[in-house]
């Protein structure tokens, strides 16, 4: 029955039989500190950002890289999982209750599988990394890979991170992996068994994730690997959502999320609204469009909310309200690709299992002179039902499916629209 039905079969199989979600229901709308602060922050700056987020209806504040060790750039500190009290006086024990008092949950970024050479961990245990004997280490993002085939390595990482998790009310972890495995050689195995290292490494990652699930059952773990590099069914058992890509440009995300949707359901895709011009490609897209694209997955923000205008704050507050109203369609409904990413427009739909409600989203491409009149055919509806659109006009389901909904003229590059359909 085509790629669409194949995808929906994959989605249901993953959602109902594989994805282990220890926090069922709507996930909190989050803001991540990375693109707002990078490594340059202190408690005062974080609380200011959290206060702005709370006023807009955001429910989870995530502190990204830079909170631990002597981590002021990506050149050092990775592996030293103790709180940097120069940046955070009093530690997380002092910061997190203030975030909670704003009505927000608190989350942390970690990259437990990696280590910087400029770290106490590496200075004490240089043999704990994957590295071919007698060769210069191969670095990626100025870091090396810890040997997760070894139990003592996993025990150390678990002990250090669990000490942090037990120090404050932490409900979310972003588990990152920012480089590929190279020089896959373990000092813990003899030469004739080095072919086992790749497999044993992944088993070690699973084992450590399982320990965190067992001992911290209320924590939501989001997977990440330079974006979507670790988007696979095995990881979804332990990390029920995965950061879809470090490329947060809304127009690029149309293709990224379109491709991911062929196997993986929207409830597994982390998707955030970021600032413009986008830091990856310097493109400018309307805030409404960025929200529409991010609302196709697990919704959040990756920007400095302290720098937003009153008009932008109104749009953000409206986006958050809409997501909270429609989340069940996005996370639990059936997903339909209505068009491939292209020149004219990209469109998709989230439709309830009983086909009585639907959220249809559309983003246009670059504007050209004298644009043609276009209809959008909405797949997946019930032909015999009438659907009211955005609380106004009503159309028969078969008309919307086979003739299409007449699109208004959307002038300007990368405009967007959302249609909420409800059966009468």
The predicted-structure confidence for 2-57, as pLDDT tens digits, reads as follows: 999 999 999 999 999 999 998 889 999 999 999 999 999 999 999 999 999 999 99
Q: What whole-number distance in Å separates Cα of residue 228 and Cα of residue 235?
A: 11
Q: What whole-number distance in Å separates Cα of residue 41 and Cα of residue 36?
A: 9
Catalytic residue among 246, 252, 328, 413: 246
Q: Among all chains, which residue has been given the structure tokens 């910087």?
A: 116
263 alpha carbon, distance to own chain's centre: 17
Query: pLDDT band at 305, cuts 50/70/90?
Result: very high
DSSP 328-395: HHHHHSEEEE-S-S-SSEEEEEEE-TTSSEEEEEEEE-S--SSPPP-EE--TT--TTSEEEETTS-EE
pLDDT tens digits, residue range 143-192?
Answer: 999 999 999 999 999 999 999 999 999 999 999 999 999 999 999 999 99
Residue 371 pLDDT = 85
Residue 216 pLDDT = 97
- Over range 268-282, report the average pLDDT: 96
Identify the helix (H) or strand (E) that includes residue 235.
Answer: helix 233-236
Orientation of helix 91-101 relative to helix 43-56, angle to 10°: 20
- Over range 403-423, report the average pLDDT: 96
- Over range 100-129, report the average pLDDT: 98
Checking if the pLDDT of 228 tops 90, the result is: no
Residue 22 pLDDT = 85
Q: What is the pTM of this model?
A: 0.96
Residue 57 pLDDT = 98
Checking if the pLDDT of 227 tops 90, the result is: no
Checking if the pLDDT of 226 tops 80, the result is: no
Residue 399 pLDDT = 98
Residue 342 pLDDT = 84
Q: Catalytic: 246?
A: yes
Q: Catalytic: 176?
A: yes
Catalytic residue among 80, 118, 176, 249: 176
pLDDT tens digits, residue range 308-328?
Answer: 999 999 999 999 999 999 999
- Over range 383-387, report the average pLDDT: 98
Mean pLDDT of the chain: 96
Residue 330 pLDDT = 96
Q: Are 187 and 107 in contact (CB under 8 A)?
A: no
pLDDT tens digits, residue range 1-11?
Answer: 899 999 999 99
């Amino acid at each position: 029955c085509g790629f669409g039905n194949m995808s929906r079969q994959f989605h249901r199989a993953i959602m109902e039989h594989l994805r282990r979600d220890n926090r069922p229901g709507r996930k909190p709308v989050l803001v991540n500190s990375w693109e707002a602060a990078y490594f340059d922050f202190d408690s005062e700056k974080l609380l200011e950002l959290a206060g702005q987020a709370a006023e807009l209806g955001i429910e989870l504040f995530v502190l990204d890289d830079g909170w631990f060790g002597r981590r002021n750039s990506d050149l050092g500190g990775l592996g030293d999982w103790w709180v940097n009290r120069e940046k955070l006086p009093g530690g997380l024990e002092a910061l997190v209750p203030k975030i909670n008092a704003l009505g927000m949950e608190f989350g942390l970024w970690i990259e437990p599988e990696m280590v910087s050479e400029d770290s106490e961990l590496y200075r004490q245990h240089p043999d704990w990394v994957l590295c071919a004997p007698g060769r210069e280490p191969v670095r990626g993002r100025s870091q090396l890979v810890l040997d997760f085939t070894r139990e003592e390595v996993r025990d150390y990482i678990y002990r250090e991170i669990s000490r942090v998790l037990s120090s404050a009310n932490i409900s979310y972890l972003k588990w990152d992996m920012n480089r590929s495995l190279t020089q896959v050689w373990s000092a813990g195995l003899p030469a004739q068994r080095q072919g086992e290292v790749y497999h044993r490494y992944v088993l070690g990652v699973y084992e450590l994730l399982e320990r965190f699930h067992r001992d911290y059952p209320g924590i939501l773990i989001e997977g990440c690997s330079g974006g979507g590099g670790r988007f696979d069914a095995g990881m979804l058992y332990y990390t029920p959502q995965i950061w879809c890509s470090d490329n947060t440009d809304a127009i690029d995300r149309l293709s990224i999320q379109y491709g991911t949707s062929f196997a993986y359901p929207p409830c597994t895709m982390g998707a955030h609204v970021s600032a413009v011009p986008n830091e990856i490609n310097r493109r400018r897209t309307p805030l409404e469009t960025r929200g529409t694209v991010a609302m196709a997955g697990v919704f959040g923000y990756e920007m400095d909310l302290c720098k937003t205008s009153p008009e932008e704050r109104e749009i953000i507050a409206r986006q958050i309200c809409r997501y909270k109203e429609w989340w069940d369609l996005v996370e639990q409904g059936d997903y339909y690709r209505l068009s491939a990413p292209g020149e004219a427009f990209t469109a998709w739909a989230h439709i309830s299992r009983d086909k009585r409600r639907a959220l249809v989203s559309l983003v246009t491409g670059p504007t050209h002179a004298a644009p043609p009149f276009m209809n959008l055919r909405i797949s997946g509806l019930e032909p015999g039902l009438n659907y009211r659109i955005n609380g106004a006009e009503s159309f028969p389901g078969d008309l919307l499916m086979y003739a299409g909904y007449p699109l208004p003229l959307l002038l300007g590059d990368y405009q967007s629209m959302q249609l909420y359909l409800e059966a009468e």
